[in-house]
Amino acid sequence: SQQGEEDPQALSIQEGENATMNCSYKTSINNLQWYRQNSGRGLVHLILIRSNEREKHSGRLRVTLDTSKKSSSLLITASRAADTASYFCATGANSKLTFGKGITLSVRP
């Protein structure tokens, strides 16, 4: 069963705009991750936030975590056409991750 549910399912923005994606999960977690998948490729890890962290930054990425609401958001600032991909949140540990269904982001040049 899916632990994470991303929202929206699809997002289309203009290059230079910010993209915000949300993830909700059901059970308590130790950490939450975001992955990116380009078309026809494997997933690539973007960022991990621990349950005792509220916000984390990595380059143009900002992730927030609200454990009271069981939700996380991924913000991509100043988007580029190369950010076009599917984005997944994932919870779990070691070799047992549970992924959401993903968000398809399209960035128009």
Partner 1 sequence: NAGVTQTPKFQVLKTGQSMTLQCAQDMNHEYMSWYRQDPGMGLRLIHYSVGAGITDQGEVPNGYNVSRSTTEDFPLRLLSAAPSQTSVYFCASSGRSRKNIQYFGAGTRLSVL
Which residues here bind partner 1, judged by CB under 8 A?
1-2, 31, 33, 40-45, 48, 88, 92-102
Report the C-alpha gap between 12 and 108 in whole angstroms. Answer: 7
Nearer to partner 1, 10 or 78 (CB): 10
Nearer to partner 1, 19 or 43 (CB): 43
Residue 30 CB, shortest distance to partner 1, in Å, is 8
Nearer to partner 1, 82 or 93 (CB): 93
Nearer to partner 1, 15 or 97 (CB): 97
Report the C-alpha gap between 60 and 25 in whole angstroms. Answer: 24
Residue 5 CB, shortest distance to partner 1, in Å, is 9
Residue 18 CB, shortest distance to partner 1, in Å, is 24
Residue 62 CB, shortest distance to partner 1, in Å, is 19
Tell me how many degrees the CA angle 13-90-6 measures, rounded to the nearest 5. Answer: 40
Report the C-alpha gap between 95 and 109 in whole angstroms. Answer: 37
* CA distances (Å), origin 29, targets 26, 39, 47, 80, 92: 9, 29, 15, 31, 7
